[in-house]
Amino acid sequence: MQDQDTAAIDAFIARQARMARGEEYKDARKIAVGDLNHDGVADTAVLYTIESQGGSNNYTQYLAVFVRIKSALKAVAHVAVGGKSYRSVELTSVSDNFIHLDTLDYAPKDAACCPSKKGVTDYVLVSGVLREKKRPHAQSRHN
């Protein structure tokens, strides 16, 4: 990845962290590249985690899409996709204009730390908005 791409992603996430009054857990950041807006040019999907919002032990996972415009990445959409007491997600790939995620949802007896119900979901960029497209009865691709 080009230094200017990394700088654009870092700056966007830093702004998001400030607005959430938290900080990024940078070791958890995942990046996948592929065409997300049907223009034939590779775009970038980034899964990142903001934690310690307002001094709490909470965390939220976000998915952001950066499209390439005149050789520079520009943030066009982001959405919360996981977090404490919601679900855990892992960015796996980008293909056919979809962002693919493995998920761990909470089973009825799971503790807040440890969701265990495996699943998958996809996100697609539609008119500048990330929309979730759940796959019915899907199994994880890594089983």
91 found inside a domain: yes
CA distance 78 to 47: 9
60 found inside a domain: yes
Name 137's Cβ contacts closer than 8 Å, sequence gap at least 6: none
Domain that holds residue 91: 3-134
Residue 142 C-beta-side C-alpha neighbours within 13 Å: 12
pLDDT in tens, 15-29: 999 999 999 999 999
pLDDT in tens, 59-113: 999 999 999 988 899 999 999 999 988 999 999 999 989 999 999 999 999 988 8
Residue 78 C-beta-side C-alpha neighbours within 13 Å: 20
143 found inside a domain: no
**What global pTM score does this model have?**
0.89
141 found inside a domain: no
140 found inside a domain: no
What's the number of domains the chain is made of?
A: 1
